[in-house]
Amino acid sequence: MSLTPFIEDCGGVENIARVLVPDERLIFEVRNPTLIQGNIEGSQFNDTLSQITYRSFPTPASEELLNLGKGIAKYQLAMAEDFILPVDCDYRPLWHVSPPKGLLNDPNGFIYHNGEYHLFYQWYPFSCAHKDKHWAHLTSKDLVNWQWQPIPMTPSDWFDSHGVFSGHAVSNGEELMLFYTGNVRIDEQRDRHTTQCVAVSKDGIQFEKKGPVIFDLPPKVTPHCRDPKIVKHNDEWLMLLGAQREDLKGRLAIYKSDDLVSWTFHKLCGDEMGDFGYMWECPDMFELNEQLLVVVGPQGIESDSQHHTIPHHNGIAKAVLSDDGDITLSEFRNLDHGFDFYAPQTMLTADGRRVISGWMGLPDEDDHPSVDSGWIHQLTMLREMKFVDGKLIQMPIEEMTSLRGEQHKLSLNNSGADLQTKSFDLTTTLEWGSTLSLFKGEAHQLDIRLDSESRTLFLDRSKTEVRQGDKVRELALTDSEQVELRILADTSSVEIFINQGEFVMSSRVFTPKQATGIVLEGQAQLDIWTLNAADKPFADKMA
């Protein structure tokens, strides 16, 4: 017996919004309950969830379930097509990646494959809410200009019905493989079920889901287990997962495979970090200058700063990887000291550079001024990472200079100027006691203040249109006699590279369109280039 009679009883594939198969139950969430025929004995309908449950049914073949998922995906893709054309907005960036409509969060599947760069991101097209994540897909030849590609995955299957969550990509010969976490929520209490899944493409554009490669949770781990990162180690593959132990401590879960298909749990790593957050998200692992490093996002760590109230962090630690696949971490430090940076991914360019991009947002922030226009969040610019003399260095990728336009040399002495743009690349060196104000208008500005007494840089956005989140960040620079800055601004964001990239501060900054002034309390020379727009990473021109 097939699924066909159950599908017909629900009113057909076009009436099915989700399919779930938990605990020997077959559950369909329907779009229109009046189309349910009710011909199968023993079915129960939950009006709150708009779900019909069949408790007596044959175990469906995996291929049949995948075919049903393709049918659901067809409808979801048709719905999403209405949201791929962007709406224009005064806060829309000129060269950062932003969603056409809806919500963007984590970058995913960042990779170089068959002569082209691929960048995916978490996307909910239909509103500025964290729901039912899709993947969006962009490609590029130069890491600056990105082209929209067909939507690769929607939450259409029994194993990812409530979200195609984050993951990474693997270039496996001609195939591009996407590893991701399938998120499922069951019943009114929304019990979480997670599996680690894979989708495969032969042309880098059209992807076919293959389903879960890891069904079960690691021992003593809660369903908060996600964000697979795949790396090659000796003659086998390792999968790193962000995980939460049952005692609510964040750790790395490690799996092994010989073929990228069959995976075996190895162990939980990270005990040497102690009580270091209740959950670790979005792991990454790579080598820089013969130093192995692991990126991870620990949640639930209090900051030493009174100004930093957000419990979500993202940082990098030195790592040691044993021949057996054990990972030991040490010397954790923040990757970014600004307001908005989370869930980054790195990739290796064609010429061997390690490049990183993050989500310029945070999990608990969903009320930016751009919400009024129907979209929220963007990705950070791409940065090259280096490890020099024991220090992590991050600087804008060299390709960013291709967007430079007119150059201006300013000499400011307790004075200001109108840049007439909010998209620029600025370099300067400031003395302690200086304050540099950007995006200055009649009542708005972003302040970069160098406190000479404490030798601390303060980034203050309290005079902007910020609606949510912290308003001040501080960074101690006690060893610096002067402070070198390179600042890249783009309409509603700023990324500040401090002392040749030893520190970075990434932040969304919302000010009126006409707020294009710059003022310096102090004296300095500034080199400023206007930055032209990159190709828009959308399906078509602005709606």
Say which CATH number the domain at 479 has.
2.60.120.560
Tell me which residue of 151, 150, 198, 170 sits closest to 110, measured CA to CA. 170
Q: Which tokens sit at 444?
A: 């708005």
Please check whether residues 119 and 202 belong to one and the same domain: yes
Query: In the structure, what pLDDT confidence band is assigned to residue 187 with cuts at 50, 70 and 90?
Result: very high
Tell whether 233 is covered by a domain. Answer: no
- Rounded to the nearest 10°, the torsion over CA 27, 129, 197, 46 is -10
Q: 199 and 132, same structural domain?
A: yes
Give the three-class secondary structure for 34. Answer: helix
Residue (of 365, 309, 336) closest to 496 by Cα position: 336
CB 464 within 8 A of CB 439: yes
Question: Residue 379, CB half-sphere, CA atoms under 13 Å: how many?
Answer: 31
| Per-residue model confidence as pLDDT tens digits over 357-394 | 999 999 988 999 999 999 999 999 999 999 999 999 99
Average pLDDT of the chain to the nearest whole number: 96
Express as a percent the part of the chain with pLDDT over 70: 99
Report the 10 Å Cβ neighbour count for 356.
25
- Residue, of 106 and 63, whose pLDDT is higher: 106
Distance CA 92, CA 87 (A): 9
Give the pLDDT confidence score for residue 543 in this predicted structure: 45
Put the strands of the sheet holding 375-376 in their side by side order.
147-148, 134-140, 116-124, 102-113, 375-376
Asked if residue 195 and residue 109 are part of one domain, the reply reads: yes
Residues in the chain: 543
pLDDT at 309: 83
- The yes-or-no verdict on residue 542 having pLDDT over 60 is no
56 has pLDDT over 50? yes
Residues 36 and 104 in one domain: no
Q: Domain for residue 156, yes or no?
A: yes
**d(C-alpha 542, C-alpha 539), whole Å:** 9
Mean pLDDT, rounded, for 13-38: 95
Q: What is the pTM of this model?
A: 0.96
Tell me, yes or no, whether 455 lies in a domain: yes
Domain of 147 in residue numbering reads as 99-215
421 found inside a domain: yes
In a domain, 85, yes or no: no
> Both 428 and 499 in a single domain?
yes
Q: How confident is the model at residue 123 (pLDDT cuts 50, 70, 90)?
A: very high
Residue with tokens 């025929």: 37
Verify that 160 and 47 share a domain, yes or no: no
Residue 402: strand, helix, or coil? helix
Tell me whether residue 524 is in a domain. yes
Tokens of 82: 């209405």
Tokens of 204: 């880098």
What average pLDDT does the segment 150-155 reach? 98
106 is catalytic: yes
Structure tokens at 368: 């930016």
Choosing from 60, 79, 107, the residue where a domain stops is: 60
* Phi/psi-derived region of residue 459, left when phi > 0, alpha when psi is between -120 and 50, beta in every other case: beta
409 assigned to some structural domain: yes
Q: Which residues of 434-449 are buried (b: 16+ CB within 10 A; e: fewer)?
A: bbbbbbbeeebbbbbb
Is residue 434 domain-shared with residue 492, that is, in the same domain? Answer: yes
Residue of 125, 20, 145, 25 whose CA lies nearest to 76: 125
Q: What are phi and psi of 124, to 5 degrees?
A: -115, 110
Domain boundary among 191, 215, 239: 215
Task: Please indicate, yes or no, if residue 158 is contained in any of the structural domains.
Answer: yes
Q: Do 38 and 107 reside in the same domain of the chain?
A: no
Asked which of 183, 215, 247 is the last residue of a domain, the reply is 215
Residue 53: count of CB within 10 angstroms of its CB: 18
Q: What is the distance between the alpha carbons of residues 19 and 53, in angstroms, rounded to a whole number?
A: 10
Q: In this structure, what CATH number is given to the domain that contains residue 161? A: 2.115.10.20
Residues 6+ apart with CB under 8 A from 298: 250, 276, 277, 279, 280, 281, 313, 315
Q: What is the pLDDT of residues 517-540, one digit of tens each?
A: 999 999 999 999 999 999 999 987
In the prediction, which pLDDT does 1 show? Answer: 56
Nearest to 385 by CA among 373, 375, 393: 393
- Burial string for 80-119 (b: 16+ CB within 10 Å, else e) reads beebbebeebebbbbbbbbbbbbbbbbbbbbbbbeeebbb
pLDDT class for 541, splitting at 50, 70, 90?
A: low
Mean pLDDT computed over 38-63:
87
pLDDT band at 306 (very low <50, low <70, confident <90, very high): confident
The answer to whether residue 250 scores a pLDDT higher than 90 is yes
pLDDT (tens digit, 9 = 90+) per residue, 195-229?
999 999 999 999 999 999 999 999 999 999 999 99
Same domain? For 407 and 524 the reply is yes
Over range 12-33, report the average pLDDT: 95
pLDDT for position 230: 99
CA distances for 219 relative to 72, 244, 279, angstroms? 33, 11, 16
Chain centre to alpha carbon of residue 15: 32
Q: What is the pLDDT of residue 58?
A: 66
Per residue in 456-498, pLDDT (tens digit) is 999 999 999 999 989 999 999 999 999 999 999 999 999 999 9
- Which of 106, 284, 425, 460 is flagged as catalytic? 106
Look at the chain and report how many structural domains it folds into: 3
The reported pLDDT for the residue numbered 310 is 83
The whole-angstrom separation of Cα 329 and Cα 15 is 49
Cα angle vertex 443, ends 440, 446, to 5°?
40
